[in-house]
Structure 1
């Protein structure tokens, strides 16, 4: 069977697309794509904002919870800090006391025969010794031992009293300690 022929009537002339028509068609296509991309970006930013808002709300609730915990533990923290302060003060006094005990032991160890202590004062940076010596050689030996002692910076003999009635030399010695 032969194909049926339908006549067509074209009232417009055959004409080529002009550059302006092609440019307009291209610009409209690109414009549509730009609008679609802009809407996609705007929509994704809008959705992302909701996720950020949710995270912000979660963080605020976590901060509030942790703030409650911190306020609950504040008294214990204050007690702990007070205890730490007391321990540091005690440690400082303990170190100072240990140093003074060591110095006292060393000074007593320097005592030669024929020497007796009347009084020994150990301050933070000074030692004061009141002692009785039976012999000058004992006094010289004790002073020489103090001069060579590593913790002593300088020595001064403040008072020497020779008591002939008891055959004793009473001496007051002051030594400055190194810091």
Structure 2
């Protein structure tokens, strides 16, 4: 009799799902399948969200370009309005200064005695320089006293005092008047800023 050849059977006759290794493999396959499905869903939803966000971004960029074009079309109008507002502010300030100058000259006329002649009067916002001739010492002292009594005037600085000649009698003097803070009659508002204009 011939010798029987040994056979190797790699497949177990027992049910694999009943053994612990088989149950572990079955559980790993089931969980792995769910993990793969979940990962694919995450990737697909990420792709869909990316497409939606890209479309929204393109739409927003197009809207921004349209809005920029609209704003650029209004730029010349805005510049004209700003220029007109600046011109209006300048005109208003000049008119106010002219009114204040008229009031100041009227006030100087009120405090000046009759025998006082002005040869030069210059103004800036903080000081006033006067060159004048007083025909009498009493007129000179009255003028200085009236200026000192004014609450809007701070310091009086006498630059020069000279006696007149026979051809030009009187007391020739140069006087600098410093106003307190800003002069009450020359007080002007600063030009408005761009925010105030709009």
The TM-score normalised by the length of structure 2 is 0.65
Retained in 2: the 8 A contact 1:116–1:131? yes
Is 1:146 the counterpart of 2:150? The answer is no
Match of 1:28 in 2: 29
SS of 2:18's equivalent in the other structure is coil
Retained in 1: the 8 A contact 2:162–2:173? yes
Shift of 1:83: 2.3
**Residues 25/144 of structure 1: CA separation in 2 closer, same or farther (3 Å cut):** farther
**Residues 163/36 of structure 1: CA separation in 2 closer, same or farther (3 Å cut):** same
Number of residue-to-residue matches in the alignment: 169
Gaps of 5+ in 1: 1-11
Match of 2:175 in 1: 173
The correspondence for 2:160, drawn from 154, 158, 161, is 158
Gaps of 5+ in 2: 1-12, 183-198
Q: Deviations over 1:131-173 (max 9, x none)?
A: 3334323322322333454344442242333456776433332
CA-atom RMSD in angstroms:
3.3
Match of 2:61 in 1: 60
Q: Which structure's relative contact order is higher, taking Cα pairs within 8 Å and 6+ residues apart? A: 2
**Residues 96/20 of structure 1: CA separation in 2 closer, same or farther (3 Å cut):** farther
